[in-house]
């Protein structure tokens, strides 16, 4: 048994589950919620605007896996090298990969790295990345998921000698003050986590996400013709799933540079289809084209209209870490 686990209390050791290191563990996911006073059994962490990453370290190698099990090693080779140098212990840790714009995580900037799948090119990229780890769920033959969160975070902070580009995710105790501070700094928001909670391999109300602005993933179901000298396309037709049906959420036509317009435009042309993927939009309007609904993008917006469309949306980037069928309209818990 690892010395850190041997030092746990007798009660904590009873919660450990002996098992071989699994090849995969489903990540715990947060439930959208509205911010408000929270006291007692909660801690609060920054909500990172990046790519979720689970680290699997065995006796031979490090694997970085996205939430849909995509191997990220060739995209972020510097993170792999750093983690291999830290320790040879077997562990599984949960975290988020980010790129910074000043002091603020920028998903748009991270997009430049997410599209690289050659380790040589990735190392030459001008976009440095950081891995913020926030949870430890396996260590040297034992599943830690039944331990409380505070204990798991203490084990994580003690196990790994954190230094760039791998960083430890600190937490705060005053959630409402931290939320206001995060919004003032232009951050995406915060995550509230039940301090005594187990690590649950599913979405749970033991983790709550409070966003400073409305933003979520949407399925791309079509596009419009570009106007004037604009390359690629004019706007994306967006949707989300409800009861297995893709419903229209309107269009987004801002937030693109010329390179993005050309690259996404080429992918959309290859996915074009005659039939509408939307359950509530049978025919295209003039200049619209339908596509097979497999691409997912993230969008920021001010609010939903009474008709269920996005108001003032702006495109942030493509996401390949979430299947289109899992994209639903996020409704905060009150």
Give catalytic residues, as residue numbers.
47
What residues have CB less than 8 Å from 230, skipping those under 6 apart?
261
How far CA 129 is from CA of 36, 111, 114, in Å, comes to 32, 11, 10
Angle, alpha carbons 57-59-64 (nearest 5°): 25
CA-to-CA separations, 288 to 127, 258, 269, 282, in angstroms, rounded: 35, 20, 12, 12
Tokens of 157: 């902070």
Q: Which region, left, alpha or beta, applies to residue 255 given φ > 0 means left and ψ of -120 to 50 means alpha?
A: left
Q: Which helix (H) or strand (E) holds 159?
A: helix 149-159
**271 CB neighbour count, 10 Å cutoff:** 17
DSSP 14-36: HT-EE-PPPS--PPPEEEEB---
């Amino acid at each position: 048994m690892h010395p850190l686990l041997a030092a746990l209390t007798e009660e904590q050791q009873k919660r450990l589950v002996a098992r071989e290191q699994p090849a995969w563990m489903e990540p715990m996911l947060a439930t959208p919620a509205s911010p408000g006073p929270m006291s007692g059994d909660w801690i609060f962490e920054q909500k990172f605007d990046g790519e979720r990453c689970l680290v699997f370290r065995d006796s031979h190698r490090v694997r970085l896996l996205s939430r849909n099990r995509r191997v990220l090693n060739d995209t972020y080779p510097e993170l792999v090298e750093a983690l291999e140098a830290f320790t040879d212990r077997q562990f599984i840790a949960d975290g988020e990969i980010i790129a910074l714009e000043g002091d603020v995580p920028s998903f748009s900037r991270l997009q430049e790295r997410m599209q690289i799948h050659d380790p040589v090119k990735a190392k030459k990229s001008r976009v440095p990345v950081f891995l913020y780890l926030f949870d430890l769920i396996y260590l040297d033959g034992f599943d830690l998921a039944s331990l409380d969160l505070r204990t798991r975070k203490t084990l994580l902070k003690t196990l790994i000698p954190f230094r760039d580009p791998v960083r430890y995710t600190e937490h705060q105790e005053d959630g409402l003050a931290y939320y206001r501070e995060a919004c003032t700094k232009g951050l995406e928001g915060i995550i509230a986590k039940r301090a005594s909670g187990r690590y649950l391999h599913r979405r749970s109300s033991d983790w709550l996400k409070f966003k400073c602005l409305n933003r979520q993933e949407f399925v791309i179901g079509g596009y419009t013709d570009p106007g004037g000298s604009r390359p690629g396309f004019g706007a994306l037709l967006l949707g989300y799933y409800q009861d297995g049906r893709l419903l229209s959420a309107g269009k987004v036509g801002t937030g693109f540079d010329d390179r993005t317009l050309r690259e996404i435009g080429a992918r959309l042309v290859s996915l074009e289809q005659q039939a509408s993927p939307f359950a509530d939009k049978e025919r295209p309007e003039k200049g619209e084209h339908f596509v097979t609904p497999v691409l997912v993008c993230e969008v920021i917006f001010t609010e939903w209209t009474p008709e269920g469309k996005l108001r003032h949306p702006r495109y942030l980037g493509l996401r390949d870490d979430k299947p289109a069928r899992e994209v639903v309209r996020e409704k905060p818990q009150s």
